[in-house]
Amino acid sequence: MGRQLVPKLLALGHEVVATTRSSAKLGEIRAWGADAMVMDGLDPASVMAAVGAARPEVVVHQMTALASVASLRHFDREFAVTNRLRTEGTRYLLEAAEKAGARRVVAQSFTGWANERVGSPVKDETAPLDPHPPKTMRQGLAAIAGLEKAVTAARGVEGLVLRYGNFYGPGSAAFLDAVRRRKLPVVGAGTGLWSFIHLIDAADATIAALDRGTPGLYNVVDDEPAPAAEWIPYLAEVAGAKPPLHVPAWVGRLAAGEAVVSMMTEARGSSNSKAKAQLGWALRYPSWRQGFRAWVAEEPGPKLRQAA
């Protein structure tokens, strides 16, 4: 997201201070034209120092620690650091933003598996989060709920939460590689609904949220929530891969765990009506059908990525 967001913000004339934990990345960020600082979002002194030095008008929170997630079987274990970034990290950022006199904090969240898995197939922001998530996802859901509450209840700043759907687009090749290797089967009847968002559209919604909209929650997803039984074969087809395997739910549970089976069979989609109306946001890829084609056309295969 940062790779999409920072160049777009600079092109629009914003002054950007981007953070990373690694001093080795400072040069790359500065080469884009942004200021860059080292910050650890789990260290309150580091957050206070970075935000205090930047004196931002708006703080955009995109911190996550999911880059090395290999399996969703032990969901809460894999999300443990991300959950800390969503709880502690968000608290440190809000305190630092208020102290630095920021006007607004725009924070990331997620929509999809966090939705209640009963009732209407497509949920808006007034629908409750899942009160009974699979056991392995309880801490992850609590962290999302905690972030959303902390940001929208903030007193000294305007707090907006963008609940992004499942990302795809440049650099996010995980699904694509899995489909190409036939490692992403349709589980059960594949009735779980997924809401997707191209990274370009997610970045545009984030930029719109700097000035527009009132404090609250916004689903940032495309127009077409998609059953797993439709989007997985479609992605395989546009990627030129063999059709996906189909496995019964009990096999999915044994092989990949409860969280994956729930996403594949029970998940609900999300509506973007509020974000469109209040953020004045228009999508380049209103459907994953067009978006997947553009993504596959631009995304190098694993061999080319390795060579690069």
Ligand X SMILES: NC(=O)c1ccc[n+]([C@@H]2O[C@H](COP(=O)([O-])OP(=O)(O)OC[C@H]3O[C@@H](n4cnc5c(N)ncnc54)[C@H](OP(=O)(O)O)[C@@H]3O)[C@@H](O)[C@H]2O)c1
Residue 61 near residue 154 (C-beta atoms within 8 A): no
Separation between Cα atoms, residue 39 and residue 19, nearest integer Å? 6
Separation between Cα atoms, residue 37 and residue 54, nearest integer Å? 9
In the bound complex, what is the minimum distance in angstroms from residue 197's beta carbon to ligand X?
8
Separation between Cα atoms, residue 83 and residue 161, nearest integer Å? 16
**Nearest to ligand X of 111, 265 (CB atom):** 111
- Mark the segment that binds ligand X (CB under 6 A) among 61-69, 208-216, 252-260, 285-293: 61-69
Identify the residue among 8, 14, 26, 42 touching ligand X (CB under 6 A).
42
167 lies in the binding site for ligand X (CB under 6 A): yes
44 by Cβ neighbours in 10 Å (0-12 / 13-18 / 19+) ranks as middle
Residue 262 near residue 114 (C-beta atoms within 8 A): no
- Mark the segment that binds ligand X (CB under 6 A) among 129-137, 138-146, 163-171, 260-268: 163-171
**Nearest to ligand X of 145, 249 (CB atom):** 145
In the bound complex, what is the minimum distance in angstroms from residue 59's beta carbon to ligand X?
12
21 lies in the binding site for ligand X (CB under 6 A): yes
DSSP string, 138-190: HHHHHHHHHHHHHHHT-SSSEEEEEEE-EEESTT--HHHHHHHTT--PEETT-
Question: For 22, phi and psi rounded to 5 degrees?
Answer: -115, 120
**Nearest to ligand X of 66, 153 (CB atom):** 66
DSSP string, 214-268: -SEEEEE--S--EEHHHHHHHHHHHTTPPPPPEE-HHHHHHHH-HHHHHHHHT--
Give the residue carrying structure tokens 């999508």: 283
65 lies in the binding site for ligand X (CB under 6 A): yes
In the bound complex, what is the minimum distance in angstroms from residue 75's beta carbon to ligand X?
13
164 lies in the binding site for ligand X (CB under 6 A): yes
Task: Fill in the DSSP letter of residue 115.
Answer: B
196 lies in the binding site for ligand X (CB under 6 A): no
**Nearest to ligand X of 44, 233 (CB atom):** 44
In the bound complex, what is the minimum distance in angstroms from residue 29's beta carbon to ligand X?
9
60 lies in the binding site for ligand X (CB under 6 A): no
14 lies in the binding site for ligand X (CB under 6 A): no
- Mark the segment that binds ligand X (CB under 6 A) among 34-42, 118-126, 140-148, 255-263: 34-42
- Contacting positions for ligand X (CB under 6 A): 1-2, 20-22, 25, 39-42, 62-67, 85, 108, 110, 164, 166-167
